[in-house]
Copies of this chain bind each other. A is one copy, B any other.
């Protein structure tokens, strides 16, 4: 079995996500045989450093033995049980641990399977919360350049045209408020001013503001100052509007703190988590919220105020076992603190990119680092050249247009960081 044979079999029957399938004629698919730590290996024996954590999900390495062990144990005990009317220990344990990581008013967990579904839960809950009190609020506010998922509700509050444009007639129309385009307090203050205008113009008609705290990942890895979160949150409280923190991509340590919103010292009304929650092993998502919100749905059934959302595999025990194992590793290995050194090391290592004539900006928030190129028209798809160069040299990067970024698993070692960065550097120099 080699790459070529598997690629042929793949293309016969598979339509890949987020892909123009014709691209695979010139940029061959890579069938992966196995993974270990930061490395993945294909069927031709090529080995790559997974510098993007397989779409930002992997935290502690591929086939992490500890997480694998816990999954295997759970599979033999209870693989799944309906989560309406029933429960199980892994999810009870997980919920308690997640709540312990949250500000004190966050006290309830509602589960789903993927990030899009979590965003849908938060939007529906916010909308329904007002309705349960006899208030009909029709709008959501989200940031320009935002990305919140692919299902129509989640996509409706997004603003990345590439994903959204074809479907615009199928969706709600959100109100977009300008996001700060730099990590600066001045910009944060200016953009919060714009947000307040929107709140003033739509009294009692906005359910929630939804944001990706600190880093808009799919949105060109745009980064902004925590002060914006602080100010936006204050405005939400002032105008009685929910604050939804979509931490699907940035949660679990990516921005340097366990959750990005912590850096603004705020308590969002809803926090959406997924991706890293299982260490990158299995799909699982959760929306955390307050007892106050929960309370507005808690009543006699006959009042018709129940939140009846469900997915068949909600709270899957195997995925919960992986999530508990992931939290074990965070605790035992003091991961957040240990990452600080790696963050600093990466910071120093990427300075040299500034000297390249085709680099516009190098930006970093915690374990996420982005290098923005300049001087290329979008249609040249310059990122693909970097992608190919890096693959040939043993590193999986997946640029977003002209943004090259690193979001590696936290188990990456110094020499692996060096390789990842040097290959990207040479790639950018070569184009």
Binding site for B on A (CB under 8 A): 1, 6-7, 9-10, 12-23, 27, 29-35, 40, 52, 54-58, 62-64, 67-68, 71-72, 75-89, 91-92, 95-96, 98-99, 107-117, 120, 123-124, 127-128, 131, 136, 138, 150-154, 156, 162-163, 166-167, 169-172, 274-275, 280-283, 289, 294, 297-302, 305-316, 318-319, 379, 381, 387, 396, 398
* Distance between Cα atoms of A108 and B16 in the complex (Å): 10
**Copy count, this protein chain:** 2
Residue of B nearest to A95 (CB): B13
* Distance between Cα atoms of A125 and B9 in the complex (Å): 23
Question: Known contacts A282-B282, A302-B379: does B117 contact A152 (CB below 8 Å)?
Answer: no
A299 to chain B, nearest CB (A): 6
Whether the Cβ atoms of A32 and B86 lie closer than 8 Å is: yes
Contacts of A150 in B (CB 8 A): 117, 120, 309-311
* Distance between Cα atoms of A128 and B310 in the complex (Å): 27
Residue of B nearest to A313 (CB): B283
* 5 CB-based A-B contacts, threshold 8 Å: A20-B301, A34-B77, A82-B398, A114-B283, A117-B151
6 closest Cβ pairs, A-B complex? A152-B153, A17-B310, A18-B310, A283-B313, A20-B306, A151-B151
Contacts of A314 in B (CB 8 A): 17
Contacts of A156 in B (CB 8 A): 152
Whether the Cβ atoms of A283 and B301 lie closer than 8 Å is: no
* Distance between Cα atoms of A116 and B309 in the complex (Å): 11
Question: Given B6, B81, B302, B309, which contacts A87 in the complex, CB threshold below 8 Å?
Answer: B6
Whether the Cβ atoms of B316 and A282 lie closer than 8 Å is: yes
Contacts of A282 in B (CB 8 A): 79-80, 282-283, 313, 316, 318-319
Whether the Cβ atoms of A81 and B54 lie closer than 8 Å is: yes
* Distance between Cα atoms of A99 and B95 in the complex (Å): 39
* Distance between Cα atoms of A171 and B152 in the complex (Å): 9
A20 to chain B, nearest CB (A): 4
Whether the Cβ atoms of B113 and A283 lie closer than 8 Å is: yes
Contacts of A305 in B (CB 8 A): 20
